[in-house]
Chains A and B, each alone.
Chain A
């Protein structure tokens, strides 16, 4: 039998992941609900009816990051507990396919999350209308999401085989995500000013893109060693 090519493997894995999520609905609805609840908490914690500029970017990114952590914690649990890893390792396919498929799955989760969380943020907390800033914001969101997806997948794979996986995942992920937060929050900040929304500075987008690239390469280089048994 001819071994399946990487695109076919990737497609099969991605289809399986999304099908599992569609049938169980255990990550994305929870993440979205968490994000909306966090905006409510921020309203009371900051004692503000609306935010703009710096604090608005901070609130948005902290919320998205912590909501992403919920998805990261669940990403490999089913594979570890119900033999998904064993099944995958028995198949004669490249192991990197699992990294890419899981990262794409997490990226899809994040995009759906933002589809709900960003309008909710605009509605509940943001002082200015979101419409004008939306095209720029979309670019920042996608660049940051790629980074969160890659780091989240790597960290989830590292933490899932440990005893304290729910604790270790966020502990490992947050320091690694600091450069993403720096880039994303600084790039979002000018978009969220009430009076004169600007454009994100190129250097922050460059930082996000470079970090995505470098961390993607690192994860690609070491991921195989996490899947050896």
Chain B
């Protein structure tokens, strides 16, 4: 007998999360363009600050969060934690590319160069991105799914711990050479700080929504694949059309599906 789709395939929070993200974005960028004052020295260009800084914060938090989820995976051996860790790191990588691009644009506008080595935050961010860029090649070069999850978790934990270490080392190497051009948010005027905070919330919500979508899509695809295996649709379904199907992390979704997988 084929079980009806479980509610797990359609999480109830997804719609709420999406709407909240859209609302937060409207509010945040309304504040950016109509409320926050034009900065005296950099002018309109400084508005990219409200995109760049939240992206960077969310990316780094995502990397550390991915490491914490990997710890949970190794502790509980629940494959769902590995899937969450994978999705978080994947999304952080995408947000990280956005951070580097917006950072470059900002650097070009205010300092005249696309890249500056004197800014330790930017440099350490690049190193961290280079490290995390090997996460997917490492993961998908391991065929055994159980070992893939385990090794990816070990990588995620190490890299997550490397994030603050690397920042400290790079900061030490440049801090005494150049004073910071734009300091921390503590010396921002209140209207700018408020706008930054709302923008941060919006970007964090976007991150959560996209992660949630990717997670749902992956779970649905696995459910579909195991169902089509139960039904014996060898020639149709997603398995045949996707050459990279083996690269997906299989996660046991529901009891009948799991029984079907093991029966084969």
Asked whether, in the complex, the Cβ of A158 is within 8 Å of the Cβ of B128, the reply is: no
Cα-based distance from A215 to B147 in the complex (angstroms): 23
Cα-based distance from A69 to B137 in the complex (angstroms): 19
Asked whether, in the complex, the Cβ of B153 is within 8 Å of the Cβ of A225, the reply is: yes
Asked whether, in the complex, the Cβ of B153 is within 8 Å of the Cβ of A186, the reply is: no
Asked whether, in the complex, the Cβ of A176 is within 8 Å of the Cβ of B154, the reply is: no
Q: Which of B128-145 contact A (CB under 8 A)?
A: 128, 130-131, 134, 137-138, 141-144
| Binding stretch for chain A, among B17-25, B29-37, B167-175, B199-207 | B167-175
Asked whether, in the complex, the Cβ of A218 is within 8 Å of the Cβ of B158, the reply is: yes
Out of B141, B150, B169, B170, name the residue touching A225 (CB < 8 Å): B150
Cα-based distance from A175 to B169 in the complex (angstroms): 12
- Min CB gap A186→B, angstroms: 7
Asked whether, in the complex, the Cβ of B141 is within 8 Å of the Cβ of A218, the reply is: no
Out of B128, B141, B151, name the residue touching A226 (CB < 8 Å): B151
Q: Which of B167-190 contact A (CB under 8 A)?
A: 169-170, 172-173
Out of A161, A175, A225, name the residue touching B130 (CB < 8 Å): A175
If the complex has contacts A175-B130, A225-B74, A225-B150, are A161 and B142 also in contact, measured as CB distance less than 8 A?
Answer: yes
- Min CB gap B167→A, angstroms: 10
**A81 on interface, CB distance cutoff 8 Å:** no
Cα-based distance from A221 to B150 in the complex (angstroms): 14
Interface centre among A159, A172, A228, A229 (most CB of B within 10 A): A172
**B111 on interface, CB distance cutoff 8 Å:** no
Asked whether, in the complex, the Cβ of B138 is within 8 Å of the Cβ of A158, the reply is: yes
Q: Which of A201-229 contact B (CB under 8 A)?
A: 203, 207, 211, 214-215, 218-219, 221-222, 225-226, 228-229
- Min CB gap A96→B, angstroms: 14
Asked whether, in the complex, the Cβ of B153 is within 8 Å of the Cβ of A162, the reply is: no
Q: Mark B105-142, 1 if CB is under 8 A from A, else 0.
A: 00000000000000000000001101100100110011
Out of B146, B147, B173, name the residue touching A186 (CB < 8 Å): B173
Q: Which residue of A lies closest to B138 (CB)?
A: A168
Asked whether, in the complex, the Cβ of A211 is within 8 Å of the Cβ of B169, the reply is: yes
Please list 5 pairs of residues, one from A and one from B, whose beta carbons are closer than 8 Å in the complex, sorted by A's number: A158-B154, A163-B142, A172-B131, A214-B165, A226-B154
Q: Which 10 pairs of residues, A with B, have the shortest CB-CB distance?
A: A179-B169, A162-B141, A175-B131, A163-B141, A171-B134, A175-B130, A222-B154, A182-B173, A164-B141, A178-B127
